[in-house]
Structure 1
């Protein structure tokens, strides 16, 4: 992607994220914007400590891991970021710039390089999974589905 397209895409993400936060009664501060842009610029899921390093690289200033965790918590509450339980890493929501509701999210996570792809699955499939889980004597702790996979690049290795 060219630098001009990246800049335009980043601007669009920030505009939508700012509006979403305002609608929810929150504020997207400059630091929150910068952390969000760290995540949107990455194809891979990132840990808070990887975000600290990337933030320092991108903005030439340091931020503590605790500050990053607080910002990530806020961004999660706003529906802008997802925490992947399996990997204990974070990704930006692929629907930040959308103005409509989506089906349930499923995260395909490469267990080798941590590249992540968010896909939507139908509500009917989620309901069927819930029924199967209930028949086995369990309940979903979260409707966020995460699947360990290998991406196209890693499956070739």
Structure 2
């Protein structure tokens, strides 16, 4: 398996994010089970978006857990419904929300995806820009189903490596 994980030097930070996510779930009447924590941990520790099958491999390698792919998909759906992860539709992969520990509302999430190394960065755009986009879409006879954009980019590291 290709090494898709980076080493977290501050495991305390990951633990704090998981604790915050667990509290978030409790406040919404749901539970962040051990397996859900393990899947979320994999996304938090990855620099790249991960597929369900990559998360199956992660859980097996890191935790010695054999979680079936269908279970990982259900876990990802739960995490997505709790606004803890985002699904990148074009790649059919998932990333941890960069705002898990925030207690305030954010703008609409957009994703910059490096076409060379596959790193993902979440940014936000204002609702006025989304409304403008929605209006443009409707003008040509379409209806916007999701304002999420996934943009092909090249990250600074890859630009520097090419220079």
TM-score by length of 1: 0.92
Alignment of 1:3-152 (within 5 A): 3=9, 6-152=10-156
User: Structure 2: which 5+ residue stretches go unaligned?
Assistant: 1-6
Cα displacement (A) at 1:2: 6.3
Which stretch shows the higher mean deviation, 100-109 or 132-141? 132-141
Q: CA RMSD in A?
A: 1.5
Partner SS for 1:96: coil
User: Structure 1: which 5+ residue stretches go unaligned?
Assistant: none
User: Which residue number corresponds to residue 157 of structure 2?
Assistant: 153
Partner SS for 2:101: coil
Partner SS for 1:54: helix
Cα displacement (A) at 1:48: 0.5
TM-score by length of 2: 0.88
Equivalent pairs counted in the alignment come to: 155
